[in-house]
Amino acid sequence: MMRLRAAVLAFALLGTLPALATEIPSAERRSGASFMSSDTKKMQDDDTANPGMLAVLEGETLWTAKQGDAGKACADCHGDAASSMQGAATRYPAFDSKLQHPVDLESRINLCRRDHQQAPPFPAESHELLALTAYVARQSRGLPITTGDDPALAPYIAKGHDLFVQREGQLNLACANCHDDNWDKHLAGAAITQGQPTGYPIYRLEWQAMGSLARRIRGCMTGVRAQAFDFGSDEMVALELYLMSRAHGMTLETPAVRP
């Protein structure tokens, strides 16, 4: 309870600061891993100790499982994920020409389930959806993020940027107040990172579970006492898109481990 009160007080103090929204120079961008303890870094870097790898292994099983009325597996269309999915996660959220708007990787998986497997979509944050997303994203680990290269995404990235610098909630804070203007400081004893989304889905020690970028965003919004965006909403995907484009060129770490 004392830690919660301290966090609320610290958030409130940040809310009195001007929203400078000073973008981080490319040379100064840092993964959240650089703010972690050495023990947590070792846990992430060792696949035998990284708890997120359990989700990856489950995702591999789902990749080859025939599902839905079509009786198809992901592998029936895409083959070996190690080759067919290499680089795929580095460009999401991506523009869907059929839907005429961007979709995140979780939505792409569910669209494939609906359209090709004739199976019901996995619920947001479900064990299965996180596992399959982690497995797909794992194939791009070590590759540079390319999100935002598609010119069709420009207006959606701009919308996401507007959301990033917009103050919200009872504490009157924007994402930029913490992650652009006060990174490498501390809030209630925890390091403020740059919010670079280089490892999602992540295994978060606080959650003792895997979680998506959308879940992390919703947690921040709840922390400033704002109404959180729905999973898959236009606002959520726009903010995810901006964050990923902001990390353009940084290395994908999925499955990352965070405190």
Contacts of 152 (CB under 8 A, 6+ apart): 95, 97
Considering 138, 154, 172, which residue would you say is the last residue of a domain? 138
Residues 125 and 152 both lie in one domain:
no
Residues 42 and 56 both lie in one domain:
no
Considering 138, 171, 205, which residue would you say is the last residue of a domain? 138
Task: Determine the pLDDT at residue 4.
Answer: 39
With 0-12 CB in 10 A as exposed, 13-18 as middle and 19+ as buried, what is 61?
A: exposed
Residues 104 and 165 both lie in one domain:
no
Lowest mean pLDDT among 2-11, 14-23, 112-121: 2-11
Specify the length of the chain in residues.
259
80-134 per-position pLDDT tens digit: 999 999 999 999 999 999 999 999 999 999 999 999 999 999 999 999 999 999 9
Count other C-beta atoms under 10 Å from residue 170's C-beta: 12
Task: Determine the pLDDT at residue 21.
Answer: 52
Contacts of 35 (CB under 8 A, 6+ apart): 184, 191, 193
- Average pLDDT estimate for 143-149: 97
> What does each C-alpha distance from 130 to 12, 39, 134, 153, 229 come to in angstroms?
33, 24, 6, 25, 19
Lowest mean pLDDT among 11-25, 40-54, 87-101, 131-145: 11-25
**How many Cα atoms sit within 13 Å of 4 on the Cβ side?**
4
* 3-state secondary structure at position 72: strand
Count other C-beta atoms under 10 Å from residue 211's C-beta: 19
**Residues forming the active site:** 220
176-213 per-position pLDDT tens digit: 999 999 999 998 888 999 999 999 999 999 999 999 99
- Average pLDDT estimate for 246-256: 97
Which of the 8 DSSP states describes residue 73? -
Residues 56 and 122 both lie in one domain:
yes
In angstroms, the CA 75 to CA 226 distance is 41
Q: Which domain holds residue 99?
A: 52-138
Token pair 């990923």 is at which residue?
A: 244
- Average pLDDT estimate for 141-154: 97
Residues 10 and 122 both lie in one domain:
no
Please determine, for residue 11, whether its predicted confidence score (pLDDT) is greater than 50: no
Please determine, for residue 22, whether its predicted confidence score (pLDDT) is greater than 90: no
Q: Are 54 and 62 in contact (CB under 8 A)?
A: no
Q: How confident is the model at residue 41 (pLDDT cuts 50, 70, 90)?
A: very high
